Chain A
Amino acid sequence: MGSGGRLLPAILFLGIQAPGWALSDKAGPKVEIGTHSARILQRGVLLKEIPVHRSNRDSTPPRSSRVSRLTPPRPVEEIRASQGKPVPLTSRRGVTSMPGTYAVELEDGSVLFVAPPDLIGLTWKKRSGRRLRLVLAQFQALVREVPVLQLEMEEPAAQRLFWVLRKGTEIVY
């Protein structure tokens, strides 16, 4: 470690109370939605670029707002501990557990719809559930007369975008 020399052992009090969500409010990454990609940036550094299949984004100057709500919300697995029994941590939550079809409401009232280019290959039940969710969200947006941005993204790309979105994430679109 540089000029620090060898260091003595230290006792680490790690994760005494992981504040997790509270820490997410630190200046987190922002998302720039372009015609062909969603760019994840932090302090001007491009962290990741996620391909967008197609969007209805026009050539108007970009606007900025923050995420106020995700539909469906981010999945969280709750585990209840019981005395004397180890907690089963069998499930693995990862990016593939995130939805591929969702709506993102922004603080300025705009709504961003993300869905795969086609829903072919999914089971009838999944396909209809996703379509229904999207149609309902689009209907609500129509009734409220809010600006709507539609993004067609392959499911893995959509899941990767969902992964970085939190309440308060800045979106430039």
Chain B
Amino acid sequence: MGASAFSSPDSRFEAYGASPAPAKRDLSKPEENPPRGRIILIDTAENRLYVRHGQRILLDALCATGSGHRLIAGDRVWTFETPRGEFEIEYVTEFPVWRKPDWAFVEEGEPLPARDGDRMEYGVLGSFALGIGDGYYIHGTLYTRLLGQNVTHGCIRLSEPDLNKLVDLAPLGTPVFIF
């Protein structure tokens, strides 16, 4: 895989070496035709992620989803909600590096770093991150004891074994239904 840059439609994501995304459907328009093949279901009430093919469940995994907290710092507000609706696996990256956003420093009570390099966190997101758009991912976690709870900043966390299974089961373009 070359080092070609890939940008998401909202230009907030940049990944080098990410898999090319398939042609995108307009997910803002409801359709009643059920998707064929595998689908990923994420139940944010029960904090479970399923991979289903028809009525067959190929993966039933404990996950962690958004806390729903609203963090306020001066005039800045962040809502840590896992978005609901229909998405799809748009890109997959291996060994993702987290560039800590401002809210992570605010949450830790630390000043924002002057150097961009000080924002980088290695090895905290697991082996893979599966992008579903708008800056949201399904990724791994170091905090496995928090799986099954609403504790994240919006992303969906999985254990490393389940994350590996998901990567094997869900190719690019797999629909993701979050509810």
Contacts from A to B (Cβ < 8 Å): 1-2, 4-21, 23-30, 40, 42-45, 47-48, 76-87, 89, 92-95, 160, 163-164, 166
Contacts and interface: CB of A to CB of B under 8 A. Distances in A.
Nearest to A82: B109
Interface in B36-52: 39, 41, 43-46
B84 to A, nearest CB: 5
B147 interface: no
Given A7-B19, A8-B16, A13-B101, 5 more contacts: A11-B97, A43-B86, A45-B39, A79-B72, A163-B45
Nearest to A78: B70
Nearest to A23: B83
Contacts of A18: 66, 78-81, 135-136, 153-154
A26 B72 contact: no
B125 A29 contact: no
Interface of B: 1, 3, 12-19, 27-35, 39, 41, 43-46, 66-73, 78-81, 83-87, 92-99, 101, 103, 106-109, 120, 125, 128-129, 134-137, 139, 149-151, 153-155, 167-168, 171-172, 175, 177, 179
Mostly, the A contact residues are loop
A82 B134 CA distance: 28
A145 B20 CA distance: 56
Contacts of A1: 19, 92, 94, 128, 167-168, 171
Given A4-B1, A47-B177, A81-B107, A13 B71 contact: no
B5 to A, nearest CB: 10
B85 A27 contact: yes
A81 B1 contact: no
Contact of B177 (A45, A78, A93): A45
Contacts of B136: 14-15, 18
A9 B95 contact: yes
Contacts of A94: 45, 149-150
B116 to A, nearest CB: 10
A31 B164 CA distance: 33
A21 B83 CA distance: 7
B1 A79 contact: no
A95 B109 contact: no
Nearest to A42: B177
A40 B42 CA distance: 13
Contacts of A48: 43, 179
B85 A9 contact: no
Nearest to B95: A9
Contact of B68 (A19, A44, A77, A82): A77
A82 B108 CA distance: 10
A44 B34 CA distance: 5
Contacts of B149: 92, 94
Minimum-distance CB pairs A-B, first 5 = A8-B17, A23-B83, A20-B81, A26-B85, A10-B15
Contact of B109 (A8, A26, A87): A87
A77 to B, nearest CB: 5
A164 B87 CA distance: 17
